[in-house]
Every structure is written in structure tokens, then in C-alpha cells.
A and B are shown apart, each in its own frame.
Chain A
Amino acid sequence: MPSAQNGNGAGIPQGMTAAVLTVNDDMYPVVFPTHHTLLEVLREECKLTGTKHGCELGECGACAVLVDGEPVFSCLQITTDVIGKSIQTVEGMQNGNDLHPLQETFADLGAAQCGYCTPGILMVAEALLAKETEPDDEQITEALSGNICRCTGYNRIIEAVKWAAAKRRGDDWRPDEALFMGSEIPR
């Protein structure tokens, strides 16, 4: 592992770790207090502030990132355990300047309101779509069940994930018109 801890390397003081993290395929040389979780290192050392925090105790999901493709809570992820692993954050989702299908559908369907839970939810959804090309409501609900959103009421997020999955498949399915214009008023 390319890391130095507790004064092990030149000039690294006690309690600090020096390492190179691989985030979104970019290399980040960082020196950080050993007790700082991946959340803190991403936000404060890498300056990747797209990853959010709402509790720092694994109870809200805002800080979810992918480590080797699997969603984890970065607030409970001790950083030294992910040195040498592939870390993905919301900042790495786009393809060039083009939005990822999930980003497109979240923006267009109002699945992001305040947008604070959004990065964590996008990362977990991304991991789901990597495994399931056509996830159903129940799979999406379960996959995202560690993420709290206080704005949307969730249903729109589930539809946005399904819409993104369809886009990825090249399917022209889209959410019901009621999600764009309201339900048809019964006569």
C-alpha cells in the first residue's frame, strides 16, 4: 500500500497518514489525520465537496460513495482501508460534459429538490444500475433504503432511477405524465 502513517515517512507527524487516493480515476496525494474518515478526507483534503454529510453516524446516507463499485457510507469508512481501492464520488459521474442518465432524470423529474441528499442517492443508484439493467420499484426502494430525503417523498426518485435505467437500455419508457403535469382530474 502506498501509504505512510504515524511518522513512518519523512516529515509525517504522529497521528497523520500520507497516501495517494484514487478518486474518480484521478490520483490525490493527501496527508490527513489518521482518524479522519473518507468523508473528511474527500471533502477537506481532496476538496471534493460533492459528497455531503447529515449525521456522520451512518444514519442518513448523504455521504454514500462507491468503493470498488459498492456503496459505502464514507462517514464510517476509515480512510486507510481504502488506499489503493477505486473510489467514486458524484463528481465523477459525468461523461465529459454530458450528464449521466441518472443525473439527467433526477434533474428533469424533480428528484433533486434541495439537492443535498442527491449525491449519495446518485452513487447508490449508480451501483444498482451497474448490476440491474431494469430494476423494479422494490429493488430500487431496498437499494436506496439507507438514504433519507426530506424534500421529495421518494416516489419521484424511484421513477427517476427507472427512467435512467430505461435511457441506458435505449428504451424510450418514461415516467407517467402525471409526474410532470399532475394526475388527470377525475370527472
Chain B
Amino acid sequence: MLRLPPIRLESPATVRDAAKLIAKGNARLVAGGTDLWPNMKRRHQKAETVISLMSIPGLAAIDSSDTDIRIGGTATLANIIRDDKVRERFPAFAKALASISSPPLRNMGTIGGNLCIDTRCTYYNQTEEWRRSIDYCLKEEGTICWVATKSPRCWAHTASDSAPILCALEAVVKLESAEGERELPLAEMYVDDGIDYLSKQPDEIVTEVKVPGTSDSSQCRSSFWKLRRRGSIDFSTMSVAAAVWIDDSEIVTRASMYLGAVGPAPMPVADIASVLVGNKITEDGIAEIAHAARKIARPMDNTDFSPSWRGKMTEQYAAAALREIAGLPQLRMQPRHMLKVV
């Protein structure tokens, strides 16, 4: 059986202790372990010391009593989905989380872990022996990105389903380290590079995610569409998350869209704001934004399905996400094996 390499395991009882330990270097943080352990079993992520955050009391709390919802870094995906307020106020967020892998894995995986999940690529998420047979790749030990052999950069794709929707919802993360703490708009935590995909420093711990509620009179509507082969287990091969704030007269006051799995970071579709804000959602507007989304998407041959079809599907699903928000009938099929509706 595939096993972990020997590790020293630390289970600090406070964030402060964890921060001190991680500051020493040559260590990695783990929460649910559903990303790190497979990666370490395959030996493409390595660490002598692993610091578990799961023994820190209170870090898994979900506070949905206020306008904003605050979620502790080690709150499990399952517990977040189970929270009535989350489901009621941010259904697309709950839907995105419920689309992650499968229920037992969601009992283990955490929000902090999912936001920080390593970028993925079928040339990278392989065992040591397999990677030796391609002489490794740019992301780890090698010199060539096999997805784009002339590329000076790594094209591993973002694999988080919570990231696109939380970016669209303008979530903010709290990062703590031995140096102190800071807040960062989630969208700014991601970098468009398959290797250095986070602006978060390695010694910073995601201790909280704040999903801001709506304070003005606008109503927030959001949607999440995910393309994958099967109705469970699979990562996104492309996803679209959209959030649109609409006032009483159906005029859009704010709008945001992010694409998942079609680039190293969640990709913003900036056109959504210029097309929609100040207007109602129209068929023409949807078509324009969907077209823009397709142009922004950079699907590569590093996951399931062909890049060209994933590109076409980006346009289809961007339109579908906006149609859902606008309450327009869907034109496209959601086969049971592609997208499970929560």
C-alpha cells in the first residue's frame, strides 16, 4: 500500500504555538490532510515536520450570527454545509463545498485547506516513480513544464472549489504568523503561477474566512457551476462562480465572476462589472460576459477532458451561471454525472 514517509508530527494547542513551529522552517501545516497526505504519499510534497492544526480549540468555529459569516480555518467542509445560515444566505457557496469530492472527505477536509490546496496537474500529481519516468516537471525538481514545453512557467491549475465562489463573494481571509496577523481579500491571496500560487507566506496560517454580508439594500445572488466527469469524487475541470448584487428595481449594483480550474489561480472575469453594473441582466449581457469568460479561461491538457472543449464549456457554463442568477430558463443540460445540485 501507498504510505506516508516518516514524519515528525506536531499538534500545537494554540495558533501562536503553531505559528512559532512553522516559523522554524522545513515544516508544513496540515488540517484535514485530504490534500497534503496524498501529496506526501506520492512524495511530491515533502516535509520533515508536519504541524497539525486540528488540536487548536476554537479554530473550527462557524459564527453566522452577524451579517458577516466568519468561519474558522479548520472548520470542516461538512460542518459549513450543514450550517443553516450559510446555506440560506450563500447557497452557491454551500453548493460549491458540497460538490467537493465526497461526503467522508468533506468530513475531513477544511475550508482553510481547500483555499490553500496545491495546484494540480496530471504530470505532477503522480508518484515519485512515475515522475522519475518523465524526468520530473517544472513544478517539482524538473526543468520542463510538460503541459507547455516552451513555457517558462508552470501551468498547474487551481483545484479549489471554494476559492472561485468566495472570491466572487468578496471574502476576506485572516492570516496569522509569528509576526502577527493581517487580513487579505481572498482574491489577492492567489497568484497566477502554478508553483507560487499563493501570496500567503509559508509561515502564515489561514485562521479565518469572512464572507461579508450585504449591508446596503442590494440583494446578493450567487451561483456555482462545475464541470467534471462524475457526480462525485472528481475535481473541477472547469468551474464558474458568479455573484451579482441587485437592487429593488432589478438593477445590478455590483457583480463578480471567477473561473476555477482553467488557470493557476481563480480567474476573474472583469467584464461582468462593466457589462452589468447599472443595468438589468439581459440575454445580450449574458452572451457578452460568457464570451469574455471563454477568452479569459486558459484550459490546458493537465486534467480530465480536452482543453478545447473545456474552453467551449466555460462559455456555456458562464452563461448558465448568469441565467440561474437572472432566473432565466436553462438552455444547457446538467447531466447527473456532471453536476450534482445540492
Q: Check A-B contact in the complex, CB < 8 A.
A: yes
Given A71-B104, A72-B104: A5 in contact with B233 (beta carbons within 8 A)? no
- A145 near B232: Cβ-Cβ < 8 Å: yes
| Chain B residues whose CB sits within 8 angstroms of the CB of A5 once the complex forms | 9
| Chain A residues whose CB sits within 8 angstroms of the CB of B105 once the complex forms | 58, 73, 76, 146
Stretch at the interface among B31-39, B166-174, B177-185: B31-39
A70 close to chain B: CB less than 8 A: yes
- B101 near A58: Cβ-Cβ < 8 Å: yes
- B1 near A35: Cβ-Cβ < 8 Å: no
Across the two chains, which residue of chain B brings its CB closest to A6?
A: B8
Given A72-B104, A77-B108, A145-B233: A35 in contact with B33 (beta carbons within 8 A)? no
Query: A94 to chain B: closest CB distance in Å?
Result: 22
| Chain A residues whose CB sits within 8 angstroms of the CB of B102 once the complex forms | 61, 145-147
Query: B292 to chain A: closest CB distance in Å?
Result: 34
**B window 87-106: CB within 8 A of A:** 101-105
Across the two chains, which residue of chain B brings its CB closest to A143?
A: B103
- B108 near A72: Cβ-Cβ < 8 Å: yes
Bitwise interface map of B from 1 to 24 toward A, beta carbon under 8 Å scored 1, else 0: 111111111010000000000000
- B103 near A146: Cβ-Cβ < 8 Å: yes
Given A77-B108, A146-B232: A124 in contact with B103 (beta carbons within 8 A)? yes
A59 close to chain B: CB less than 8 A: yes
- B9 near A71: Cβ-Cβ < 8 Å: no
- A142 near B340: Cβ-Cβ < 8 Å: yes
A33 close to chain B: CB less than 8 A: yes
Given A53-B1, A142-B340: A37 in contact with B104 (beta carbons within 8 A)? no
Query: B112 to chain A: closest CB distance in Å?
Result: 16
A45 to B231, CA, bound (A): 36
- B33 near A77: Cβ-Cβ < 8 Å: yes
A130 to B1, CA, bound (A): 32
A78 close to chain B: CB less than 8 A: yes
| Chain A residues whose CB sits within 8 angstroms of the CB of B52 once the complex forms | 78, 80-81
**A window 96-134: CB within 8 A of B:** 124
| Chain B residues whose CB sits within 8 angstroms of the CB of A77 once the complex forms | 33, 108
| Chain A residues whose CB sits within 8 angstroms of the CB of B33 once the complex forms | 76-78
| Chain A residues whose CB sits within 8 angstroms of the CB of B103 once the complex forms | 71, 124, 142-143, 145-146
| Chain B residues whose CB sits within 8 angstroms of the CB of A80 once the complex forms | 9, 11, 52
**A window 70-100: CB within 8 A of B:** 70-73, 76-78, 80-81
**A window 29-76: CB within 8 A of B:** 33-37, 39-40, 53, 55-59, 61, 64, 70-73, 76
- B108 near A76: Cβ-Cβ < 8 Å: yes
- A40 near B3: Cβ-Cβ < 8 Å: yes
A15 close to chain B: CB less than 8 A: yes
- A58 near B34: Cβ-Cβ < 8 Å: yes
| Chain B residues whose CB sits within 8 angstroms of the CB of A59 once the complex forms | 233
B107 close to chain A: CB less than 8 A: yes
Given A33-B6, A146-B104, A146-B232: A57 in contact with B38 (beta carbons within 8 A)? yes
A78 to B2, CA, bound (A): 14
- A73 near B8: Cβ-Cβ < 8 Å: no
- B6 near A35: Cβ-Cβ < 8 Å: yes
Which among A40, A124, A145 is the interface contact of B1 at CB below 8 angstroms? A40
**A window 136-160: CB within 8 A of B:** 142-143, 145-148
| Chain B residues whose CB sits within 8 angstroms of the CB of A145 once the complex forms | 102-103, 231-233, 340
With A34-B6, A34-B7, A81-B52 known, 15 other A-B pairs at CB within 8 A are A5-B9, A34-B9, A35-B3, A35-B5, A40-B3, A58-B37, A71-B107, A73-B34, A76-B32, A76-B108, A77-B108, A145-B102, A146-B105, A146-B232, A147-B102
In the A-B complex, the 5 residue pairs with the smallest Cβ-Cβ separation, listed nearest first, are A146-B102, A145-B232, A56-B2, A35-B4, A71-B104
Q: What are 19 inter-chain pairs, A to B, with CB distance below 8 A? A: A34-B9, A35-B3, A35-B5, A35-B6, A35-B9, A40-B1, A57-B38, A57-B41, A71-B103, A72-B104, A72-B107, A73-B34, A73-B108, A76-B108, A77-B108, A78-B30, A145-B102, A145-B103, A146-B103
